[in-house]
């Protein structure tokens, strides 16, 4: 039987139906355009949505929206997008309807919108999605634009050639867990699905700044390091750009040199770059710190494009087992948190983020670990304003496919997208490249590649990973330590391991001349459950474990920071006892954020007295 798609025949009998939509134009860090102050048109709001259990959008070519054959006769169809129910974007589909609560798989979003493309000439239109979990494919006006991998980082695609006055935008998101992905099949948080950060169209000149970076040099006093990357549809030998910080009397002209071209969706783009340093008088500079989160208005200009950002300048480094911020030793009084709000889930508003940071400051923290994946772009911007140091990480979590080349590329791209997004945030002092990965040759090479990737993009921040220790030999032993600036250690002595006296033995036997950051420690407690005999899951036992932990950790010279696990209880389908009911209960505050457990008071007292 002849296959004629316009007669209703499709890919239902083809095993590799997806092949055409896996390759081609890949949306990745190379297409990312950063800068929040750009002109933009929001596409947030109600979108039509339906789960696509069999990936029929591709198998049956729903995206063609074919309802008539070549003779204009009506034919059967299985999807009428404009009549589907609607859900909110940004948001996760799990709380849109009861039957979607545990759904894992593909979901199709559809939106019709008008766009006045006649008003401006000489501009490019860039579709930006803040994050969608995990695999995202985009069709605009029935034209396939590409595929993005990764559930927590922003991505962009140029839609200039496809945008019309009246538009239909179809986005297919798939949160199916796969072995080759980052994270992989198994992890300790809930696998929310959907488009859960902003969707918008950026309006930029044809010659525009794609991304830029400026920070205090880590090694050279009285110097700012910078780079600017420019994209244009014309080829020139160079482009002139300016860096301006009026408050510091800086106005520097730089030349962006031609670096080559790329072909995306049949269009050629020309790339330009400049990098260098600017001499400053640091004595005039008010350095950013948690106590004084000063930010300067920095303006980058190239042609008609202008990017303005509030940027703080500070210097962070390690010397032996000590961490320094602006030349002064600092102890990181931290806490961990997932990006999960009791109502907004993964789509927290700025107000909700500010409330979280206010709670963190009241606890006495100066530092926060954003676990175990990139949180929203707004988090680091608010942290800049409120004065909270951050560790940001990508979800290289537990035993992923370290030997798979595609997995390496995926992890590198997620790391690049995160760094390009937040490299100008003074609050971010540590890039973490992984969590609790078993020490093996494949894992070492994989993680070494990530450490090198981070340093190539941003040499001013510290590199960390949450390492393992040898329980049998009772020692911190991980070959990855050689690639790190800070050694993260997750340990749950007193909870999973009852032999608490082993902990000081392990820590005091530590041999490496690098600071230790306790990236996790703690215990579960059911909110409101009390027991005089300190039974497991009681608030009393959790608080006592915290007391014992702090007595040891605060008296271990190599430990230069502590991040208890975790600020709030959070959803996890690994935790299915009758007490846990699908939640990791290690929070010192309940998941609804209404009850502070007894361990909260322990942390509060320790941090406020240190």
The answer regarding whether domain 334-609 maps to CATH 3.20.20.80 reads yes
Q: What is the pLDDT of residue 13?
A: 62
Residue 3 has pLDDT above 60, yes or no: no
How does residue 118 score in pLDDT terms, banded at 50, 70 and 90? confident
Q: How many CB atoms lie within 10 A of CB 242?
A: 15
* Order of strands across the sheet that contains 39-42: 39-42, 199-205, 123-129, 155-158
Give 69 or 411, the one with higher predicted confidence: 411
Pinpoint the residues of the chain covered by CATH 2.60.120.260.
5-205
Q: What is the pLDDT of residue 532?
A: 87
Task: Find the length of the chain.
Answer: 610
Which option is the CATH number for 208-316: 2.60.40.10, 3.40.50.720, 3.40.50.10610, 1.10.150.120? 2.60.40.10
Taking only the tens place, the pLDDT of each residue in 241-250 is 999 999 999 9
How does residue 219 score in pLDDT terms, banded at 50, 70 and 90? confident
d(CA 67, CA 422): 45
Share of residues in the chain with pLDDT > 90 (%): 86
Q: What is the pLDDT of residue 182?
A: 97
Q: What is the pLDDT of residue 11?
A: 61
Residue 439 has pLDDT above 60, yes or no: yes
Q: How many helices (H) and strands (E) does the chain have?
A: 8, 33
Pinpoint the residues of the chain covered by CATH 3.20.20.80.
334-609
Maximum separation of any 2 CA atoms in the chain, in Å: 82
Q: What is the pLDDT of residue 25?
A: 53
Q: Which of 37-46, 384-393, 421-430 has the lowest mean pLDDT?
A: 37-46
Residue 24 has pLDDT above 90, yes or no: no
Per-residue burial over 268-285, b = 16 or more CB atoms within 10 Å of its CB, e = otherwise? ebbbbebeeebebeeeeb
Give me the sign of the Cα torsion angle 120, 124, 128, 134. Answer: positive
Q: What is the 3-state secondary structure (H, E, C) of 301-324?
A: EECCEEEEEEECCCCEEEECCEEE
d(CA 7, CA 56): 16
Q: What is the pLDDT of residue 38?
A: 86
Q: What is the pLDDT of residue 268?
A: 86
The backbone torsions φ and ψ at residue 284, rounded to the nearest 5 degrees and listed phi first, read -90, -10
d(CA 500, CA 602): 18
Q: What is the pLDDT of residue 19?
A: 76
In contact, 135 and 148? CB cutoff 8 Å? yes
Give 373 or 4, the one with higher predicted confidence: 373
Pinpoint the residues of the chain covered by CATH 2.60.40.10.
208-316
Class of domain 5-205 (CATH, top level): mainly beta
Residue 59 has pLDDT above 70, yes or no: yes
Q: What is the pLDDT of residue 472?
A: 82
Q: What is the pLDDT of residue 5?
A: 44
Which has the closest alpha carbon to 429: 490, 362, 346, 370?
Answer: 370
Q: What is the pLDDT of residue 8?
A: 45
User: What is the rounded average pLDDT of the residues 382-393?
Assistant: 98
Residue 68 has pLDDT above 60, yes or no: yes
């Amino acid at each position: 039987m002849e296959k004629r798609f316009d007669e209703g025949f499709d890919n239902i009998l083809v095993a590799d139906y997806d092949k055409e939509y896996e390759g081609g134009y890949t949306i990745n860090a190379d297409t990312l355009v950063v800068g929040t102050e750009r002109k933009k048109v929001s596409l947030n709001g109600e979108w039509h949505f339906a789960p696509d259990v069999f990936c029929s959008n591709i198998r049956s070519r729903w995206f063609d929206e074919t309802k008539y054959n070549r003779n204009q006769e009506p034919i059967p169809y299985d999807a009428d997008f404009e009549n589907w129910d609607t859900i909110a974007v940004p948001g996760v589909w799990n709380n849109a309807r009861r039957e979607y609560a545990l759904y894992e798989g593909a979901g199709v979003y559809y939106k019709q919108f008008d766009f006045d493309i006649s008003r401006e000439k000489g501009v490019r239109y860039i579709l930006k999605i803040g994050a969608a979990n995990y695999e995202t494919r985009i069709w605009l006006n029935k034209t396939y634009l590409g595929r993005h991998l990764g559930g927590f980082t922003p991505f962009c695609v140029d839609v200039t050639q496809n945008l019309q006055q009246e538009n239909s935008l179809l986005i297919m998101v798939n949160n199916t867990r796969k072995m080759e992905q980052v994270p992989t099949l198994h992890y300790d948080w809930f696998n929310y699905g959907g488009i859960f950060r902003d969707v918008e169209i950026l309006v930029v000149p044809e010659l525009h700044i794609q991304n830029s970076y400026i920070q205090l040099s880590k090694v050279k006093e009285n110097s700012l390091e910078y780079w600017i990357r420019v994209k244009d549809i014309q080829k020139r030998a160079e482009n002139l750009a300016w860096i301006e910080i009026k408050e510091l009397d800086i106005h520097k002209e730089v030349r962006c040199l031609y670096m080559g071209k790329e072909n995306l969706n049949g269009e050629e783009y020309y790339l330009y770059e400049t990098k260098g340093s600017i001499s400053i008088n640091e004595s005039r500079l008010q350095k950013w710190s948690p106590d004084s989160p000063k930010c300067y208005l920095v303006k980058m200009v190239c042609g008609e494009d202008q990017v303005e950002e509030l940027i703080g300048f500070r210097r962070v480094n390690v010397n032996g087992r000590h961490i320094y911020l602006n030349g002064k030793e600092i102890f990181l009084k931290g806490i961990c948190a997932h990006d999960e709000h009791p109502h907004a889930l993964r789509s927290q508003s700025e107000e909700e983020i500010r409330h979280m940071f206010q709670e963190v400051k009241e606890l006495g923290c100066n530092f926060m670990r954003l676990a175990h994946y990139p949180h929203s772009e707004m988090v680091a911007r608010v942290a800049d304003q409120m004065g909270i140091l951050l560790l940001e990480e990508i979800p290289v979590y537990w035993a992923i496919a370290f030997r798979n080349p595609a997995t390496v590329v995926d992890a590198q791209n997620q790391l690049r997208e995160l760094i390009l997004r937040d490299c100008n945030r003074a609050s971010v002092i540590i890039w973490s490249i992984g969590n609790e990965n078993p020490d093996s040759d494949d894992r070492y090479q994989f993680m070494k590649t990530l450490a090198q990737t981070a340093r190539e993009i941003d040499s001013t921040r510290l590199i960390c990973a949450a390492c393992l220790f040898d329980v049998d030999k009772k020692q911190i032993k991980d070959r990855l330590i050689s690639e790190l600036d800070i050694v993260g250690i997750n340990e749950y002595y007193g909870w999973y391991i009852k032999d608490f006296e082993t902990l000081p033995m392990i820590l005091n036997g530590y041999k490496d001349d690098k600071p230790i950051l306790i990236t996790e420690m703690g215990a579960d407690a059911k909110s409101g459950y009390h027991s005089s005999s300190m039974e497991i899951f009681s608030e009393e036992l959790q608080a006592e474990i915290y007391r014992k932990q702090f007595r040891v950790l605060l008296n271990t010279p190599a430990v230069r920071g502590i991040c208890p696990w975790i600020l709030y209880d959070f959803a996890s389908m690994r935790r299915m006892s009758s007490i846990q009911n699908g939640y990791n209960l290690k929070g010192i505050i309940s998941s609804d954020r209404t009850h502070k457990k007894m361990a909260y008071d322990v942390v509060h007292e320790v941090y406020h007295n240190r």
